[in-house]
Amino acid sequence: MDTLFKEATYIISQPGTNETLNELPQILLMGRSNVGKSSFLNAMTNRKNLARVSKTPGKTLYLNFFLINQQFYLIDTPGYGYAQRSQTRQDEFIHMLERYLTQPNHLKLVCLLVDFKVGPTALDIETYAFLKSLHVEVLVIATKKDKIPKTKQFNHEKKIKQKLNHPPLWLSVSNVTKENIFETQELILSKIEGGSQNG
């Protein structure tokens, strides 16, 4: 697969950003547990094991920083809505994200992953509204598009967009067929080369 993300290196896992990490632009990946964030990250970087795909959801507990092209960070967040994670853990996760999103940083874009087959859950819709309230730019990425027959994809996509009140930035992707992975890379790079979001 052609890829615009030529280099990808895991850097650090920690609760937030810092001055050193803030020297480069940042792209945040969010989504509920089991939406396929790790698989998406691996597809984006054309690597099989850059992000560990766990058979047990809810394993990621901090922000994982991946350096892309020596140019910017892709930050993988813990999957939200994992029922078996303790309430204390869930609260810690929410506070960690709030701290990150409301403090000065070099955030250029939040990629909010939703499941194309399942559609946006109530928590997805709530998270999207929360991000919009913070005035950060959000790209909604619907994963697992290949799980729906091609003849039904158009109407399925239409319903998802309606539930999210027609997001201005939207892509539906497949980690399996690699559909729209290259286009996602292009959009992210256009934001990296554009203006600052939150700093």
* Of the listed ranges 72-81, 82-91, 178-187, the one predicted with least confidence: 82-91
pLDDT of residue 54: 43
Would you place residue 85 in the very low, low, confident or very high pLDDT band (cuts 50, 70, 90)? low
Whether pLDDT at 80 is above 60 = yes
Distance CA 73, CA 22 (A): 9
Which 3 state secondary structure label does DSSP give 169?
coil
In this prediction, residue 90 carries a pLDDT of: 67
Contacts of 77 (CB under 8 A, 6+ apart): 28, 29, 30, 37, 60, 63, 64, 97
pLDDT-derived band at 36, boundaries 50, 70, 90 = confident
Element (H, E) at 107: strand 107-115
Q: Domain residues of the chain, as ranges?
A: 8-192
To the question of domain 8-192 being in CATH 3.40.710.10, the answer is no
Confidence of residue 89 (pLDDT cuts 50, 70, 90): low
User: SS3 of 37, please?
Assistant: helix
Q: Which residues pair with 80 in a beta bridge?
A: 32
Instruction: Over range 57-61, report the average pLDDT.
Output: 53
Contact 66, 75 (CB under 8 A): yes
Does residue 196 contact residue 108 with C-beta atoms inside 8 Å? Answer: yes
